[in-house]
Structure formats: C-alpha cells, structure tokens
Amino acid sequence: MAHYSIAIVGAGPAGYFTAQALQNAQNEDRTFSIDLFERLPTMWGLVRLGVAPDHPKIKTVAKVFEKVAAEPNFRLFGNIEIGKDIDIEDLTSRYDAVVMCTGSAIGRKLGIPGEDLPGSLSAAEFVPWYNGHPDFAALNIDLSGTTAVVIGAGNVAMDCARMLAINPIELDPTDTTDHALATFHGSNIRKVYIAGRRGVEHAAFTAPELRDLPKLEHTDVYIDADQVSEAHARAAAAGEIEKHVASNLEAWRLIAEHPKSGHERSMEFRFLSAPKEIKGNDKVEEVIFGINKIENGKVVDTGETYSIPCSLVISAIGYQAAPINGVYFHNGIIENEAGRVLGTNIYTVGWAKRGPSGVIGTNKSDASDVVDLLISDLKEPKETMDIAMLIPAGHQVIDQSAWAKINAAEAAAGEPVGKPRVKEVSWAKLLSLGLN
C-alpha cells in the first residue's frame, strides 16, 4: 500500500473535481492525502464568483464540492497564495504531485483605440464586481447612462448583458452582492447591445441560455429576423448543419418571433459587427463598429462602419491565466501536454490547462483524465512532511472549519431577507468571520 500526498492549487470547480477524482482513484494499492490551497478566503471559484446570480441552479454543484471537502483525506488551506505566501518549489519538493487549478482570471484585451477610457471595462472586472470578489468590490461602475454595449458573443457576454438589462427586482432574491444590487437599482441603463463580430450561426452562446431569453419578464430581446434566416441559409448551404448550431438557430428564430411587450428595458443582438474604436472625450461616448459580411464562408470587412452611442462598454472576449511565480505560462495557459507540465511533478486541470472553454461540468472529465496521467507517473511516495513549516508565521489560514463558519454566516444573513446568502466582500471581514 502506497500513500501519496497531493497539493491542489485553486479551490474552484477544477480543484474540487481533481480532489474528487483522486478520492475515487483510491484502492487497496494506493491512498491519497489531499491539500487544497486557495488564495482567497472564500471557496468554489467561479461557482461563487463567476456564475450569474440569476442562475442559482448552476451553483448547486457546490454541494458536491463540500462532500469532497468532508472526506477525511482532504484539508483546506485558504487565504494562502502560492507563488507569494508559499513558493511553488516548496510544494513540488514536498508533495508527490502538485495540480494547478488556478483558472483564467484576466480578461483578453480588444486592442482597439479608446479601450482604456473610463466606462470601458472587461467582464473579468464586471463579473467579479457583482459577484463579490474582494479584489473588485471597490470598483466604481457607472450606470448613469442609458445605453451599454457588450462586446463578444459568448455566455459571459450574455451574463453581463442580462445583468444590465433585467429589472433589478429580479435580482433581489439572489446572492448578487449588496453593493452591486444597489448600483443596479440606481441604474439608468435601459438598452443593452450585444455585438458579435461574425454571423449569428458562429455565436458561442449555448442554446439553453438563448432559450431563456424570451422568458425574461421585464426585458424585450431583439434579433433581426432576416439575419437569423440568412444565417440559416448560409449554414444549410455549407452542408449538414451541426446539431448545436441547429438548436441555436431554432432558439434565435423563437427570439426573433417572440412578441415584444414594449418594456422600457431591452437587449439587442448585433452580428457581423467588429469593434474598431471606442470614442469619447474623457469617458466612453460611442463604439465604432466595422460591418462584416460573409463571402464564400469567410468573414470579410466591408469597409463600412456604424456607431452605437453609449456610456458603458464591457468586453467579454475570453480570458487568460494570471501569472504565478515559478510557473511557466504560454499563450494565456500553463504550458502543458494533456495536463502534464513536462519535466516536473506539476499537473494542471481546468481553464489554466485548456483555456477558458466549457461549462463547469467539463472540468469533471478533465480532472479525471489528468488524475489518470498523474497516477500513471507516480513512483515511490515522498517522505511525509510537516505542512505547518510551509505556512508563514502568524498567517491566518482559512481551513475547512473556518470556511464552514464563513459559509454559515453568509447563509444565515440571507435567510431573513429571502436570499440564498448575503456575501461578505471585505477580505478582513471574511477572515474575522472565519475566526468566530
């Protein structure tokens, strides 16, 4: 019987699914001790800080994470930043393997003039702001104008647009942070454009998200019906329409045909619109889009442009991993081969490994594949070590019982106001909740 110690870095879906895969891989020949390190004092990664508050069902996967955490071979080390509080080499030299599940936290840049004007921000700031990430709680999001533009045709863009376009009373019973809820209640935004640079048929939105749009109670959703039928014709002319494209096109048709109720709030999709420039004197005043067309299956710039006057621009065009001292990154991910960081005992799972793609459940199969490789690489277990040596003196660790206290305090605060929880967003207050 061999007993191995594994460090996992990052307490998001990839981290917990990796721990679960390791727990499931224990047998009469091998067992694992699992230490999960997390920079924040709060756990669950994107399940807490990414998933839109009006999609609470997606967050029920946190129950699975807590079940994993309740196993006797699991320990949590929250409020510990690897690469700062503890060096990566301290983990690789002591643990049999280290699995980096650190995600992709930085929004990709558009690279167009005006991108840095006040009023232009990334979904990588806006989403953690409304979801209560302590590093983003102090952002000043100005919703005093009437029109917002969201750039990108993926599910993150959809989340951002929906959060801006729905009536904030729909967010009252959710875990949207108090500061964001107050800002949304004071918002003057009534029109939200979502711009995709290619055709309707190329959008990265998924069908369930599209099918939800006609159900919005206080928001009309517009897509040009001609653009939908043209996209359908192009897709059909190119051969058999792929299943996910066919279900998206059907969802678009239903959105286009859905009767509008004359709500003062609306979302409008614009396709074949490539952002060229964000203009404004000392803040965002308009976005200039180049008009694309599709010729022989290729997206081509027509050379024509149009403008959308607005006061807020959110770009949701993908993410890249944030650097970590001692870990080699390339093209926005940790350089790896199928999850192995060659020549080391480091592995990676999730967005840090494959880039920002897939839904939360995708990380389960990803974790299980990488854990299979990790196990096939294991040799003689290392000597057991004293983990306390790694923790900087006087540093408060959020262990599983401290996290349970934070979790319980937030849920208790939510109960009298009919919310699943009221999130604490101050790092210092989170730490003190962990002590109580």
Q: What is the binding site for ligand NAP (CB under 6 A)?
A: 110, 151-157, 159, 196-198, 202, 204, 206, 209, 275, 316-318, 356-359
Residue 381 CB, shortest distance to ligand NAP, in Å, is 36
Nearer to ligand NAP, 33 or 176 (CB): 176
Q: What is the DSSP string of 96-125?
A: SEEEE-----EEPP---TTTTSTTEEEHHH
Nearer to ligand NAP, 78 or 128 (CB): 128
Residue 72 CB, shortest distance to ligand NAP, in Å, is 33
Residue pair 15/22 in contact (Cβ under 8 Å)? The answer is: no
Residue 20 CB, shortest distance to ligand NAP, in Å, is 20
Residue 318 CB, shortest distance to ligand NAP, in Å, is 5
* Other residues' Cβ atoms within 10 Å of the Cβ of residue 418: 9
Nearer to ligand NAP, 204 or 373 (CB): 204
Chain center to CA of 242: 26
Nearer to ligand NAP, 173 or 358 (CB): 358
CA–CA distance, 140 with 191 (Å, rounded to integer): 20
CA–CA distance, 91 with 34 (Å, rounded to integer): 12
Residue 120 CB, shortest distance to ligand NAP, in Å, is 13
Nearer to ligand NAP, 43 or 124 (CB): 124
Residue 270 CB, shortest distance to ligand NAP, in Å, is 11
Residue 161 CB, shortest distance to ligand NAP, in Å, is 11
Residue 278 — φ and ψ, nearest 5°? -110, 125
Chain center to CA of 137: 16
- Nearest to 192, CA basis, from 147, 226, 155: 147
- Nearest to 121, CA basis, from 357, 316, 275, 285: 316
Kindly give, in sequence order, each residue whose CB lies less than 8 Å from that of residue 141, ignoring residues fewer than 6 positions away.
121, 126, 129, 180, 183
Residue number of the CB closest to ligand NAP reads: 154
Nearer to ligand NAP, 249 or 402 (CB): 249
Nearer to ligand NAP, 91 or 316 (CB): 316
CB-neighbour burial class of residue 223 (10 A; exposed 0-12, middle 13-18, buried 19+):
buried
